[in-house]
Amino acid sequence: MKTFKNIMSWVLPIVVGLLIAMLIRHFVFTMVRVDGPSMEPNLENNERVAVVKTAKVRHLSVIVFNAHNVDPDARSKRVKYVKRVIGMPGDTVSSRDGKLYVNGKALSEKFISQFERTQGTGNWDLSGLTDKYSWTIKTTKVPKNSYFVLGDHRSVSNDSRYWGFVPAGKVLGVVKVPFWDTNATKRHNVNSISY
């Protein structure tokens, strides 16, 4: 009996610790790896970032979402994309002469360079995109419970301009660059920018 108590004295705390860690990972936050250059310069390929599942999605939040059944090319049920929220439900979004407009107001995009803002962006609005890419949802506004997202490096980003809106139910959480990342500008551009 004494041996059993000794074993349980160290097994029980380990089991409880693992259960707490699993609950935190499932409900509060997890770590993900950025794959590809679409969020440069703020997030680099292979960079690990935290995804806070309890954080509220806002304009310019960087989010992680399950891309299966969002992007037709995302065949795996486990494919996750990292993008920045430009349009919230009910917003109009357009691009003219290298500037983004949300509800008719020019969006300040100091978090990326002029090159990243203008290359590959073109002139468009939601109505034109729905027709050009034959989206299933034909609209001039971001639908209820959905987001319009773009990558920070527009010329290489596969985003809402091509396949449409991200349903809120597909969002896994809001990205936060960990405090130990030494680049304060990058931390600010991902963690703190809002519209």
Say if residues 130 and 139 touch (Cβ distance below 8 Å): yes
Catalytic residue among 38, 61, 94, 95: 38
Of 118, 163, 111, 115, the C-alpha closest to 137 is: 163
127 catalytically annotated: no
Backbone angles phi, psi at 112, to 5 degrees: -135, 160
38 catalytically annotated: yes
Rounded to the nearest 5 percent, the helix, strand and coil shares of the chain are 30, 25, 45
Dist CA 160 CA 100 (whole Å)? 14
Catalytic residue among 83, 95, 160, 170: 83
Active site residues: 38, 83
